[in-house]
Amino acid sequence: MKAAVLSGPGRMEIRDVDDPVMEKDEILIKLKSCGICTLEQRLFTGAMKLHYPLVGGHEAAGEIVEVGKAVIGSFSPGTKVALDLVTRCGECYYCRIGKSNLCSNRFNPGQRMLGGFAEFIAAKPNQVYALPTGLSFDEAAFTEPLSCCVHSLKRLKVAMTEDLLIVGAGVMGLLHLLVARCMGLRTTVCDPDASRLEIARALGADFTVNPRTTDLSSFGRENTDGLGWSSCVIASPAPEALKEAVASLAKCARLNIYTAYEGEMTVPIDATAIHRQELTVTGTEGRLSEDFFQAARLLSFGKVKVDALISGRTSFSTIEQGFREAISGHAFRIILNHEAP
């Protein structure tokens, strides 16, 4: 089969590799769409390193081709599915305490991982989530990133009708917005890019604010009855974004640092403020199986529409160009279309 193989930072090669060998307790899937996620972008640029060569891709969707004889669930060929391709070991401390998103062995050599940038993949049944025929493969590929946003907002313990601030209107910030709407939150999106704020409004943001032209703290209090935001997601790696958000929080507010930073980043918050205002600062990494299941259902039920976040499509023959577009800072999500010429 054909696969896009990362042989080193910046070196993407299209190779003919062996077809996957499906075990009797696995499902064989023909891959159709896979998003070029931030994880793969970091691997491509060298900001993150794993062992090479590597077939990346984990925001994947496809169609079941064959079901192993020992598979218990009601899977059948032809079913459209989303795939959870960040494999957990199920054996380490974190997996055993229900925190499989922090699995110690996710990216260890010898662990099967990623693989969405290939034509076929064999997966365990618990990695396979059935989706309705009316959902496109490109939309289905958003199940994984959407699940991370579900996990993020659940970690914040948001309550219906609370005021949520989302800092950063990139693809993950806007996916947070779409989930927040399903949760009944009044949501403000903050970003210095006017075009992205326009998209945020089109996707249902209650308020949008440009921090370069408007004082974020004052704006927040004006629109939350003088309280400030009760919950906040940081989806921008800009250091100033975090500092301004912290100053805009209400008492008892919760803040989730969703984004990852290239280098060491100090949280700009006074410990006394945490004490006196009873603030909670947390972070999230990945998602749990429950989050993935809920994301699949949000897409299946039509509660979340992601079409506006597809900035472009690429093919095996143009995937390196697709990567460069993805890391340009001008795109939301670039999708690898496995059947494009």
Share of the chain above pLDDT 70, in %: 100
Rounded Cα distance between 241 and 266, Å, is 13
The tokens describing 45, both together, are 């640029």
Question: Quick check: 107 pLDDT over 90?
Answer: no
Q: Which residues contact 275 (CB under 8 A, 6 or more apart)?
A: none
Q: What mean pLDDT do residues 124-148 have?
A: 97
Q: What mean pLDDT do residues 44-63 have?
A: 90
Q: What mean pLDDT do residues 34-63 have?
A: 91
Tens-place pLDDT, residues 218-253: 999 999 999 999 999 999 998 888 889 999 999 999
Looking at residue 52, what is its pLDDT? 84
Question: Quick check: 110 pLDDT over 80?
Answer: no
Looking at residue 109, what is its pLDDT? 73
**pLDDT band at 185; cut points 50, 70, 90:** very high
Pairing state of beta strands 120-123 and 310-314? unpaired
Q: Which residues contact 68 (CB under 8 A, 6 or more apart)?
A: 22, 23, 24, 25, 26, 27, 28
Looking at residue 32, what is its pLDDT? 98
SS3 276: helix
**pLDDT band at 329; cut points 50, 70, 90:** confident
**pLDDT band at 14; cut points 50, 70, 90:** very high
Strand ranges across the sheet with 229-234: 207-209, 186-190, 163-167, 229-234, 249-257, 280-283
Question: Quick check: 111 pLDDT over 80?
Answer: no
Rounded Cα distance between 128 and 27, Å, is 8
Class of the CATH-defined domain 2-142+306-337: alpha beta
Looking at residue 15, what is its pLDDT? 95
Share of the chain above pLDDT 90, in %: 82
Looking at residue 266, what is its pLDDT? 84
Report residue 7 CA to chain centroid gap. Answer: 24
Q: What letter would DSSP give residue 86?
A: S
Return mean pLDDT, the chain.
Answer: 94
Phi, psi of 199 (to 5 degrees): -65, -40
Q: What are the residue boundaries of the structural domains of the chain, listed by start? A: 2-142+306-337, 149-283
Question: Quick check: 306 pLDDT over 90?
Answer: yes
Looking at residue 273, what is its pLDDT? 87
Question: Quick check: 262 pLDDT over 90?
Answer: no
- Identify the CATH assignment for 149-283 out of 1.20.1300.10, 1.10.10.10, 3.40.50.720, 3.30.390.10: 3.40.50.720
The one-letter code for the residue type at 200 is: A
For residue 294, the number of C-alpha atoms closer than 13 Å in the C-beta half-sphere is 17
DSSP letters, 207-243, are EEE-TTTS-HHHHHHHTTTTS-EEEEEE----HHHHH
